[in-house]
A and B are shown apart, each in its own frame.
Chain A
Amino acid sequence: MSEFAVEALNIVRTFKDGEVRALDDVTLRVPQGEVFGLLGPNGSGKTTMVRILSTILTPTSGVALVNGIDVVKHPNRVRRSIGLAGQYATVDENLTGFENLRMIGSLNHLEKSVVVPRSRELLEQFGLSDAASRTTKTYSGGMRRRLDLAAALVAKPPLLFLDEPTTGLDPQSRQDLWAIIEGLVEEGTTVLLTTQYLEEADRLAKQLVVLDHGKIIAEGTSQELKTQLGNTVLVLTFTTSADAERGAALIRDVAAKPANVDGTVVELTVAKGPAAAAEAIRRLDVEKITIAGLILREPSLDDVFLDLTGHKAEDVTSDAGAPGVGRAAQKVGP
């Protein structure tokens, strides 16, 4: 088996006769046996990448190898070694949990004698045994996602694509899914995860690629991405937004990069936290501007994202949690 579970080289995918470039020269190398995160807001090209790697779409140009197999030349061989789950890959509402797994198992060309015990085992493992003989119409959002993930695992694929697996889930269900994903990786499964949640990427992914408008804008471990940004974030809160504007102008040169002003809150990325904070306080005091709050913190992936794209990840995607919204947008393309 090749060193990489996924090698995608210079992938370009255009829609509408080249008017929309969903992916613009993206190169990815996903090592075996770990979680690789594809991070970005809606429309950044994450899902298009997953659809290409899972043989649903063909790239306009570029070469993609999955487990060493070319996705365009041998799609059926690729399909035998992957599992796909997430917000778009769904379960059949009119079938029970068990029937869903059995269907996916037989469509994976597993013998009945394998499919039935395997389905039971997965239902047990994902806490769905009690609901196994109920139609999935009656399932909660969290149960559906777990079943969806179970369906992707019926054939025990060495590589799993999880396309925004927790989008729209409540915090508890999200935690549950994270634990399941971590367990799979411990057993040796490679996971390519797309997410718009920075927290999720930070928690699960060893290596990350940040996509925006179809281009890679950053890559590395989450620690590397944070370091790349600067050492510390200085957060100052003022009593009025007018004060915040004046204050930001005064302390502008303390940071290497422009300050981010959001209402009464000013954020600065600084190299030396305490010294920068002292300098800021001194200058603001001279001008008699009241500081309501001051925090020094390590940068989060949110800061990285803001720094890289100039917009906040969550702001862009505030409507992405609603089911169907992303899909409707996707459908426009092909």
Chain B
Amino acid sequence: MSSVTTPTTTMVTRSSRSSLRWAVSDVLTMARRNLLAIVRIPTALVFTIIQPIMFVLLFRYVFGGVIKVPDGAYVNFLIPGILVQTTIFGAVGTAIGLAEDLQRGLIERFRALPMARMAVLAGRTVSDLVRNVVVLIVITVVGIAVGFRPHGGVPDYIAGCLIMLLFAYCVSWGFAFIGLAAPNSETAQAISFPVIFPITFASAIFVPVSSMPGWLQPFAYHQPVSEVADAVRALMLGTPVGDSVWTSIVWSLGAIAVLGPLATARYRRAA
């Protein structure tokens, strides 16, 4: 073998597709892998689908009786809120997944491949988006089964979903940052919950902000999750949206403008 000076193996021919098309392909490859993981890890599936259904049932039948909303039935107030809460809780999966990939050395392998650099994070956030679409459909169906009657019409219902998906997508980047910064997946999970609890529970998701103590109201009223919940609820129920739609979009774009570069910078340093 010492006489062999050049490799006799020939490299597999790579296609001449443009780099942009390959970048899209890389993102989809990564997104597909993440979605397969959700389907195959029982706890991930429970976390994604079963837990939100439990929340619907819990608030509809256990707590719902004592929660008074200004107008209409509590179930109509609740379901849009649960939808928003679910998409935010789901983003924790991004933090856990990325921390695991880092821990297991998969990110290291990806970094030695000629794939698009941004595909790891973009694939993660895109798979979150797909998962959120599925969850929106499931919760809508379950919601209608327990008495949810959105009167806003289909176009507005979809508009509400889109506002929610946009916000959730932007939030995902923040959790991607947490996942990359955490030393392991357990820590990623532990860091995530103290972040999502105040923003989801001290918000207009489950109860009207007006029912909260005075010191909490300014935070609960102005924080982005409440704005999004208000916008989504108004669109779905056909009530006046005020400026909540625009505020939600501004918050979302602002979040991604900050969190996107933060996560990307962290990704460059990680692994």
Contact = CB atoms under 8 A, between A and B. Distances in A.
Interface of A: 1, 3, 31-34, 51, 54-56, 76, 79-82, 84, 88-90, 92-95, 99, 103-104, 106-111, 114, 118, 135, 151, 154-158, 185-190, 206, 327, 331, 334
Interface residues of B, number: 41
B17 to A, nearest CB: 7
A51 B110 CA distance: 12
A164 to B, nearest CB: 12
Given A33-B1, A331-B183, A56 B112 contact: yes
Nearest to A111: B15
Given A33-B5, A90-B104, A103 B14 contact: no
B12 A93 contact: no
B114 to A, nearest CB: 4
B15 A109 contact: yes
B36 interface: yes
A89 B105 contact: yes
Interface stretch (B21-29, B51-59, B161-169): B21-29
Contact of B115 (A56, A109, A157): A109
A114 B2 contact: no
> Which 6 residue pairs are nearest across A and B when measured between Cβ atoms?
A188-B8, A188-B7, A94-B37, A79-B114, A158-B7, A107-B115
A32 B15 CA distance: 26
A32 B41 contact: no
Contact of A34 (B1, B14, B106, B111): B1
B225 to A, nearest CB: 30
B68 interface: no
Contact of A109 (B4, B22, B37): B22
16 contacts: A3-B5, A32-B4, A32-B5, A33-B4, A76-B114, A89-B105, A99-B33, A107-B26, A107-B110, A111-B14, A155-B14, A187-B7, A187-B9, A188-B7, A206-B2, A327-B105
Contacts of A188: 4, 6-9
B108 A156 contact: no
B29 A103 contact: yes
B25 A90 contact: no
Chain B binding surface, main DSSP class: loop
Contacts of B22: 109
Contact of B12 (A95, A156, A331): A156
A94 B115 contact: no
A90 B112 CA distance: 12
Given A80-B114, A82-B112, A84-B112, A93 B8 contact: no
Contacts of B109: 84, 89-90, 104, 151
Contacts, number: 125
A135 B25 CA distance: 23
Contacts of B30: 107
Interface of B: 1-2, 4-15, 17, 22, 25-26, 29-30, 33, 36-37, 40-41, 103-106, 108-115, 119, 183, 269, 271
Nearest to A88: B105
Contacts of B111: 55-56
B44 to A, nearest CB: 9
A158 B11 contact: yes
Contacts of A82: 112
A189 B9 contact: yes
B24 to A, nearest CB: 12
A305 B41 CA distance: 46
A334 B269 contact: yes
A136 to B, nearest CB: 11
Given A54-B112, A79-B114, A188-B7, A90 B105 contact: yes
* Residue among B4, B17, B40, B108 with max Cβ neighbours from chain A (10 Å): B108
Contacts of A190: 7
Nearest to B15: A111
Contacts of A95: 33, 36-37
Contacts of A80: 11, 14, 114
A104 B109 CA distance: 9
Given A89-B112, A135-B40, A156 B25 contact: no
A313 B5 CA distance: 32
Contacts of B112: 54-56, 79, 82, 84, 89
B1 A185 contact: yes
Contacts of B9: 156, 158, 187-189
Nearest to B41: A94
A220 to B, nearest CB: 16
Contacts of A56: 108, 111-112, 271
